[in-house]
């Protein structure tokens, strides 16, 4: 398989300019504003159509590989070919496809495939804020219209993606992990987006043990994380965070609980 290495994403291919009337320093002026590009991407698994996604036109091989893994459609990836707006993924051990739905994450989903997280990875409280600092996106700063996800391993970013869809950013960093032979069970996933069950299930299917998000979760997202053994940390701000499941993976948090409990 042709591997893909993590490099800083060039946002020029993700940006467009459009004129708008803006209130600027007390006056209405006509000026060009940066906006995110979006395209309809058609996905295939072993030459069979599995659906289409609205996504930013970058990291399309990663998007294809990550989607197939995160939705539990295949157990491994043999090759990914992206041409224009078509992405063809070839993989083995294809799982029986479940009913396609549109999830609250905004993308198509084939239903949850419950698996248990097999990882003893733990982190410290300060690592939570390190991960959140890593999801700062130049594309969001220029447009205000993009989400970002990162994968950390050993306190270093090993994958990063910006996209108009928060579900796409997760698929893309998972795909980067798959294409580069990175062990997902040793990684922490950081996200800008909300974490309902459809988002949490993507990390579970990839074997990622910890999700850290600046946004909120839902009751079903928490339930799924608890059942699968995933540590879910959400609503992270400068001086706060909430751990909703399996807090033992946050080492110093567990120590504080034992002292104050």
pLDDT tens track for 111-158: 556 689 999 999 999 999 999 999 988 888 888 889 999 999 989 999
- The yes/no answer on whether domain 125-260 falls in CATH 3.40.1080.10 is no
> What confidence score (pLDDT) does residue 250 get?
95
11-15, 81-85, 214-218: least confidently modelled range: 11-15
**Nearest-angstrom CA–CA distance, 33 and 45:** 38
**Confidence (pTM):** 0.87
Take residue 209 and report the two structure tokens written for it: 């043990």
**Nearest-angstrom CA–CA distance, 65 and 4:** 11
> What confidence score (pLDDT) does residue 29 get?
87
Instruction: Please name the helix (run of DSSP H) or strand (run of DSSP E) that holds residue 51, with its range, or none.
Output: strand 48-55
78-87, 104-113, 132-141: least confidently modelled range: 104-113
Residue range 31-41: average pLDDT?
A: 91
Strand-pair partners of 54: 40
> What confidence score (pLDDT) does residue 3 get?
47
In the chain, ranges of CATH 3.10.20.10 domains: 39-109
CATH architecture of the domain with range 39-109 = Roll (3.10)
Confidence bin at 45 (pLDDT 50/70/90): very high
> What confidence score (pLDDT) does residue 258 get?
54
In the chain, ranges of CATH 3.40.140.10 domains: 125-260
CB atoms within 10 A of CB 81: 14
**Nearest-angstrom CA–CA distance, 201 and 101:** 14
Confidence bin at 2 (pLDDT 50/70/90): very low
Beta-carbon contacts of residue 20 (< 8 Å; ≥ 6 apart): 30, 31, 32, 33
Give how far Cα 182 sits from Cα of 38, 54, 174, 217, Å.
28, 27, 9, 27
Q: Is the pLDDT of residue 260 over 70?
A: no
CB 209 within 8 A of CB 151: no
**What phi and psi, each to the nearest 5 degrees, are found at residue 142?**
-85, -25
**Nearest-angstrom CA–CA distance, 79 and 73:** 14
- Tens of pLDDT along 158-189? 999 999 999 999 999 999 999 999 999 999 99
Take residue 79 and report the two structure tokens written for it: 């090759």
Confidence bin at 261 (pLDDT 50/70/90): very low
Take residue 200 and report the two structure tokens written for it: 């949490």
CB atoms within 10 A of CB 116: 11
> What confidence score (pLDDT) does residue 100 get?
52
**Nearest-angstrom CA–CA distance, 72 and 95:** 7
Q: Average pLDDT of the chain?
A: 87
- Which residue in this structure is represented by tokens 């698996």? 115
């Amino acid at each position: 398989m042709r591997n893909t290495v993590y490099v800083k994403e060039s946002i020029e291919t993700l940006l467009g300019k459009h004129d708008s009337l803006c209130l600027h320093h007390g006056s209405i002026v006509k000026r060009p504003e940066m906006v995110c590009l979006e395209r309809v991407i058609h996905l295939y698994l072993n030459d069979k159509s599995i659906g289409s996604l609205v996504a930013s036109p970058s990291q399309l091989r990663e998007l294809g590989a990550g989607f197939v893994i995160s939705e539990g459609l295949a157990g491994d990836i043999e090759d990914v070919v992206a041409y224009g707006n078509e992405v063809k993924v070839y993989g083995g051990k294809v799982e029986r496809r479940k009913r396609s739905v549109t999830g609250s994450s905004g993308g198509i989903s084939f239903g949850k495939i419950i698996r248990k997280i097999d990882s003893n990875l733990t982190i410290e409280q300060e690592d939570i804020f390190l991960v959140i600092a890593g999801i700062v996106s130049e594309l969001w700063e220029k447009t205000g219209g993009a989400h970002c996800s990162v994968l950390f391993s050993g306190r270093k970013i090993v994958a990063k993606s910006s996209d108009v869809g928060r579900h796409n950013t997760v698929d893309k960093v998972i795909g980067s992990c798959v294409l580069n032979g990175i062990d997902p069970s040793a990684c922490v996933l950081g996200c800008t987006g909300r974490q309902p069950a459809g988002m949490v299930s993507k990390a579970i299917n990839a074997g990622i043990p910890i999700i850290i998000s600046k946004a909120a979760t839902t009751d079903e997202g928490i339930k799924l994380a608890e059942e699968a053994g995933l540590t879910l940390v959400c609503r992270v701000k400068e001086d706060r965070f909430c751990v909703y499941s399996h807090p033992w993976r946050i080492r110093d948090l567990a120590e504080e609980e034992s002292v104050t409990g």
